[in-house]
Amino acid sequence: MSNNAKIAVFGNGSWATAIVKMLCENLETVGWYMRNEQSLAYIKENKHNPKYLTSVEFNTNQLKLSSDINEMIDYADYLIFVIPSAFVKNEIDKITTSLNGKILFSAIKGIIPESGLIVGEHFHDKMQIPFENIGVITGPCHAEEVALERLSYLTIACTDQEKAAFIAKNLSSRYINAKVSDDIIGTEYAAMLKNIYAIAAGIAHGLGYGDNFQSVLMSNAIREMKRYIKKVHKMKRNINNSAYLGDLLVTGYSTFSRNRMFGNMIGKGYTVKSAQMEMVMIAEGYYATKSAFEINQKNGAKTPIIDTIHRILYEGKNPKKQFKKLTDLLD
């Protein structure tokens, strides 16, 4: 793929906005698809996203904006999907143009509900995209800190290291350090699982557990993540690397974490529905919990934290009682 290959971002939220900002540091033109035509019109006139990371101002001469997903696919060589996992199928069902030769990167931290697959596997199985043309963009990185231009780190994973390096180069800047990895499946599962553990950390905080307990919770979470990922994709990896442990910690502890915020509401007594209504952005961990639990029914990894969060969110169990039981299972 040429160094002049065109890149387009598909999505409207804070993470999509942050990725467009990163790309604009390096590229003359960045494609940006969002289905909301009013948001596109607002950006053209006011130079910033009306809902997300509103402090980020764009040079609109750098942006190729479109609400037509097929037009944007035809335009770009590299397609970066940043659409919430719950809405991915609805969006890709609109695709009528050819994806032949296109390289798809996912910055989506969740599972496609309709297929029960992580995004890369869904692209491969349902859309016949070869794995060498699929990649993952993961953290540890919060969109809000990208907007503030605070030093942040990304992991870009693809079985084709040249393609990973191309994306890493175009996302890197004085405040973004992007590294490459060949663990596409492991990093994507880690990005999904850490949202569940962040909900657990939030529930613990809402219930009144302190920092001492939450440190134990996160220590157990990284070991649980290791067991889970080993079952779904066994390969040599260091679970303590930033793409796994680092992403878990920032999502579990940060005040920017929407999954921790969601969990905190649950711990304070909100129902799932009321917590979802209260939040502006989607907590991917809610959807991930159901899918991760169901996948593990086949794989059989020891996952007391995931099991606890599933009982609270999907079986209506009492958070206080469930966490009391969980404390006896942690070490």
In tens, the pLDDT along 183-242 reads: 888 998 999 999 999 999 999 999 999 999 999 999 999 999 999 999 988 888 889 888
Tell me whether strands 63-66 and 30-33 are parallel, antiparallel or unpaired.
Answer: parallel
Q: Which amino acid is it at 26?
A: N
Least confident of 2-6, 175-179, 216-220, 259-263: 2-6
Which pLDDT band holds residue 120 (cuts at 50, 70, 90)? confident
Q: How high is the pLDDT of residue 63?
A: 97
pTM above threshold 0.75: yes
Contacts of 184 (CB under 8 A, 6+ apart): 120, 131, 134, 135, 136, 157, 158, 159
Q: Are 285 and 199 in contact (CB under 8 A)?
A: yes
Domains, the chain, in order of start with CATH, read 7-182 (3.40.50.720), 186-327 (1.10.1040.10)
Q: How confident is the model at residue 25 (pLDDT cuts 50, 70, 90)?
A: very high
Nearest-5° Cα angle at 284, 214 to 19: 105
Alpha helices in 102-183 (DSSP H): 119-127, 143-147, 161-171
Q: Which residues contact 96 (CB under 8 A, 6 or more apart)?
A: 70
